[in-house]
Structure 1
Amino acid sequence: MATPKVSFEVFPPRTVDAAFKLWDTAQALAPLAPRFFSVTYGAGGTTRDLTHDAAHVLRRTSGLPVAAHLTCVGASKAETMEVADSFARIGVTDIVALRGDPADGASTFTPHPEGFQDSCELITALAETGKFNIRVGAYPDPHPESTSQEANIEWLKRKFDAGAQEAMTQFFFEAETFLRFRDACAKAGIDKPITPGILPIVNWKSARNFAQRCGTPVPAWLDDAFAKAERDDRTSLLATSLCTEMCSDLIDEGVENLHFYTLNRADLTRDVCRALGVTPQVTLEDVA
């Protein structure tokens, strides 16, 4: 089995304790020489400054590439591009360009009166600056607001045509979900890289609730497996083995890159990476 290249997503801390947890996560995962760390961006730009600061600290202390999330929600075009410029000024030139979740708990997205109408407009504006390497989101299961999987894939194609270089998918629970999506994208003429998003299941109840909010189908067999594992106090072992097996299946089918949603918890992600042959290459001090 080939050894994959990996990347890791973290979210910006809101408290001092959370800041230490983020730093511990970076210390644990940076030695695995990831392609990049990505830093999320709260709905409506609610963590804009925190995202900026976390991206800056990660970039400065790890020396590794950092990809900052940027959304269209709750800001004018000028304000959004100023945020992008602020990332560029601190050396963060990788952007994950997203439409973003509706602000204030709304059920549908409403563009800012002077803002970008959708992710494609944002991607086009970022690409025109010539400053950024642009990544985007993709949905192996149809996006909750998409009329069909065909429309979902066509929208991804538009994002690539607008200037995106790579897509990272929403998480999924079975390798076949991603593989079907990858084949459908290739059939639709998409030839840019699509990286599977991997969610190691630290807590099944939380992961299940998150999946339901995202429109990600939950296989019945997973409910059964975690119910039995909880009775036997083996949930961590189950989570590690399931995630490792799914990643192995993806690698066997030619997947070269994996993007892990760490939830700022390193242990399970690190264990899966080691099982896949991704081992420490450097210390954090070496790359600082």
Structure 2
Amino acid sequence: MSSQQHPLGISFEFFPPNTDAGRDKLMLVRDELATRNPRFFSVTYGAGGSTQARTRDTVRTVSQNGITTAPHLSCIGSEKAQLRDLLSQYREEGINSLVALRGDMPSGMGSIGELRYANELVEFIRDETGDHFNIAVAAYPESHPQAANLDKDIENFARKMKAGADMAITQYFFTADAYFNFVDKVRALGVEQPIIPGIMPITNYTKLARFSDSCGAEIPRWMRKQLESYGDDSEAIAKFGTEAVSRLCQRLLDGGAPGLHFYTLNQAAPVLKVVDNLVG
């Protein structure tokens, strides 16, 4: 594999598989996506660290092909001692990138933990490890679902960036203007770091609608109506999804986005169809 990165600055996210079969499949997906020379892979982390062991195992396996791998790290439900140990383990394993998140409180967990917000986690990582880690944080162009309003959310985002983050990766969205408006607003607050759009391929409308409703990502009405019209025709949904997401990505790149981060859902084909449609 060439060490030269993809000219468009792409990256890919995986989630830790639950089974050996899922792990074997992910390795095939990783190898296929690695042919596009991404900047990095990221690996998600469950609420309250509920997939911590699987995340670490997945990071070890994914990073074996030489591409930078960034584990997600969330602070809700974790104590500083736990986080300190995890940071130490990642350093020992040669990991130098992280995605630092507040995380969600899992049901049944009594303690929020010693760190309540992502900006506190970023500060903690910097205090513990200096500049060892390249730290990414989350951004929400259409506002975090729990935020009082967009302006408050943007203030909170700026706080995270000024705490020591190197870049941000957004929640997925389907309206380019939401991203450009968000970037304009945070630049006005003095945030200069790269803000990378998060991209969700469209392969299954029912699952996409359910997930989007829960995480606050807006599916435009025209897109919902078009997808609904296909019913159970998965081939038509996938074809439309590839075309719509490719147009979105091209507009983002043409408008100055510094790269694209794809939420792969541990599948290669839907992502590659979009990536291979794009031009520099």
Residue 73 of structure 1 corresponds to 76
Question: Could you say what secondary structure the match of 1:111 adopts?
Answer: coil
* TM-score in terms of structure 2 length: 0.92
The reply on whether 1:187 has 2:188 as its aligned counterpart is yes
The alignment's TM-score, normalised by the length of structure 1, stands at: 0.90
In the alignment, residue 111 of structure 1 is paired with which amino acid?
A: I
- In the TM superposition, what is the alpha-carbon distance from 1:121 to its structure 2 partner? 1.3
Deviation at 1:42, TM superposition (A): 0.6
Q: Which residue of 2 aligns with 1:97?
A: 100
Higher RCO structure, 1 or 2 (CA under 8 Å, sep 6+): 1
CA drift of 1:147 comes to 1.2
Question: RMSD value over aligned CA atoms?
Answer: 1.8
Within a 5 Å distance, the mapping from 1:178-257 to structure 2 comes to: 178-230=179-231, 233-257=235-259
Once the 2 structures are TM-superposed, how far is the Cα of residue 101 of structure 1 from its aligned partner? Answer: 1.2
Provide Cα deviations, 1:205-227, integer angstroms capped at 9, x if missing partner: 11111111111222211111112
Match of 2:116 in 1: 117
User: Is 2:29 the partner of 1:28?
Assistant: no
State the alpha-carbon separation in 2 of the partners of residues 261 and 169 from structure 1. Answer: 11
Distance in 1 separating the partners of 2:218 and 2:61: 36
Query: How far apart are residue 199 of structure 1 and its match?
Result: 0.3
Residue 3 (structure 1) shift: 5.0
User: Is 1:229–1:238's contact at 8 Å kept on the other side of the alignment?
Assistant: no
Aligned to 2:3: none
CA offset digits 1:132-183 (Å, max 9, x no partner): 1111001001112211111111111111111100000000011111111111
Q: Distance in 2 between matches of 1:270 and 1:110?
A: 41
> How far does the alpha carbon of each residue in 1:22-41 deviate from its partner, in whole angstroms, 9 at most, with x for none?
11210110011100000000
Structure 2 gaps of 5+ residues are 1-5
> What is the letter of the counterpart of residue 104 of structure 1?
S
Deviation, 1:231, is 6.3
Q: Is the 8 A contact 2:76 2:116 kept in 1?
A: no
Unaligned runs of 5+ in 1: 279-288
How many angstroms apart in 2 are the aligned matches of 1:32 and 1:174?
26
For 1:85, the equivalent position in structure 2 comes to 88
Counterparts of 2:101 and 2:108, CA distance in 1: 17
Residue 5 of structure 1 corresponds to which residue in structure 2?
9
Q: State yes or no: 1:265 paired with 2:267.
A: yes
Residue 11 of structure 1: CA displacement? 0.5
